[in-house]
Amino acid sequence: MAEMKDSLTGLDKYETFLEKLKIEISKMDGYRIAIIYTDIKHFKYINDTYGYQRGDMLLKEFVNQVLKIDKKLLCAARVYSDNIVVATKLDTDFNNNTFRDLIYERNMVLERMLRDKYLDERLKLSTGISIISKDDRRLDPATAVSNANLARKMAKEMNDDCCILFDNQMIEGIKKEVEVTSSLPKAIRNYEFKVYYQPKMGSGDKVIIGAEALVRWQKPNGGFVFPDEFIPIIEQSGQIVDLDYYVYREVFKFIAERLENDLPIVPISVNVSRVHLNKMGILSYVSSLFEEYNIPPQYVEFELTESIYIENTTKALELIEGLHSMGVKVSMDDFGSGYSSLNLLSGLPIDIIKLDKVFLKEGSLDDGSLKENEKIIISCVIDMAKRLKITSLCEGVETIEQSDYLSEIGCEIQQGYYFSKPVPQEEFEKLLDGDVEECSEEVVM
């Protein structure tokens, strides 16, 4: 076997590593093999900011430290860029979770060392581990590495865990992702996605003054796929753009039909995924919808989550200005759900803020379940919005006590299950037409 080495790190090339691993698996006796796949988060930032020479130094330092620590190393390779894979012996009586904890602690030590040396607090190691036992002798080495890499990708997405142990449930998760992403285009073509509407109520007279458009996936067999089962997957794949466009078109069509037939209609808000900020095609698409359906812009609103504003303020501002140029209002959704930046409210031309339901939490406002300090915070946020001439909306309203208190402190719009759950278009139209008795019993007016 002709041995090939990576010129930078001195580690094996990946193809050589797989050949060595195959041999090690075949002769495994009295021990198991742990595949440890690691990359350095924000490594590209080091290259882009300080140059490739600095990045190369960091990578070599990391590799040297790993090789120094691992006393049972079998083989190691640089897969590409900053992705390093190591195969090491693992005693048969050594608990898998204990080994994961050991690697986690090792990562913590290495992270601190690298951060101190390279003066970047954002440096973080993401590691996935897969374990090969005697029963896995027929396992393809590339599959074992792929399993570890899958766990690494999951670790990279998490904020509180840098090291994840592979298990077979992850494969089921991948199958689910493939199923969703592959079936989405056909589901859109076949109109399997249904737009539901959750009313927004004016705090004064408690009548419908708006609604939020939400999507539900109804399979041909009548069963539903819940949003939390497919939205994160298609956001990651980028397909959320296609689904958003589908919803926007359905909403525009709905509004146009109501106006054409002289039926009551209220402004409808639609959600904007962070993925739209990558290419900004959303502005031209929305503009084309206005041309096609010829509806007044005051009947459509766009909701961007607080996190989108914080993560990419420049692009968010470009999107807001583009929508405003069409006469469309923009709201900040989930305000207060994370680390709210109050500076955003003065720096971005927001029309509406939607206070996240975390402000209300659980229970009612008059039984003491909401502390006085929490009441003060809600009141101050609403007062601040009013002074900035921003409309305030509180979502997650579930009790009459919550609703009355919000009215008392000047919250202008309310939304939540106290008034109505999200309902199909047919039920929402009955609500708009005042035909309440024919609607679901769960809708309260």
Q: For residue range 278-310, what is the model confidence (pLDDT) as tens digits? A: 888 999 999 999 999 999 999 999 999 877 877
**pLDDT for the residue 371:** 63
Is residue 360 within 8 A of residue 398, CB to CB? The reply is yes
**For the chain, how are helix, strand and coil distributed in percent, rounded to 5?**
50, 20, 30
Cβ-Cβ contacts under 8 Å for 112 (sequence gap 6 or more): none
Query: b or e along 404-420 (b: 16 or more beta carbons within 10 Å of the residue's beta carbon)?
Result: ebbbebebbbbbbebbb
Strands 124-132 and 329-335: unpaired
Please tell me the distance from the alpha carbon of residue 105 to that of residue 50, in angstroms, as a whole number: 28
Is residue 199 within 8 A of residue 415, CB to CB? The reply is yes
Best-predicted range by mean pLDDT among 130-144, 275-289, 307-321, 367-381?
Answer: 275-289
Is the pLDDT score of 408 beyond 60? yes
More confident residue, 65 or 171: 65
Residue 202, classed as helix, strand or coil, is strand
Q: Is 123 exposed, middle or buried (0-12, 13-18, 19+ CB in 10 A)?
A: buried
CA distances (Å), origin 329, targets 92, 124, 349, 391: 62, 39, 10, 11
Helices 425-432 and 240-260 pack at an angle, to 10 degrees, of 40
**pLDDT for the residue 341:** 54
What is the third-level CATH fold of 12-166? Alpha-Beta Plaits (3.30.70)
What is the average per-residue pLDDT within 424-434?
A: 95
- Amino acid 178 reads V
Is residue 64 within 8 A of residue 6, CB to CB? The reply is no
Q: What number of CA atoms fall less than 13 Å from residue 154's CA on the CB side?
A: 18
What is the average per-residue pLDDT within 94-122?
A: 88
Tokens at 429, concatenated: 């139209």
Cβ-Cβ contacts under 8 Å for 252 (sequence gap 6 or more): 289, 290, 292, 293, 295, 300
Kindly report the number of other CB atoms within 10 A of residue 171's CB atom.
13
Sequence spans of domains, the chain: 12-166, 176-438
Residue 419's closest CA among 439, 392, 438, 390?
A: 439
What is the average per-residue pLDDT within 62-89?
A: 90
Residue 173, classed as helix, strand or coil, is helix
**pLDDT for the residue 439:** 42
Q: How confident is the model at residue 375 (pLDDT cuts 50, 70, 90)?
A: confident
Is residue 87 within 8 A of residue 76, CB to CB? The reply is yes
Phi, psi of 339 (to 5 degrees): -100, 80
**pLDDT for the residue 361:** 58
What is the average per-residue pLDDT within 152-181?
A: 83
Q: Domain 176-438 is of which CATH architecture?
A: Alpha-Beta Barrel (3.20)
Tokens at 113, concatenated: 């060392």
Please tell me the distance from the alpha carbon of residue 394 to that of residue 357, in angstroms, as a whole number: 7
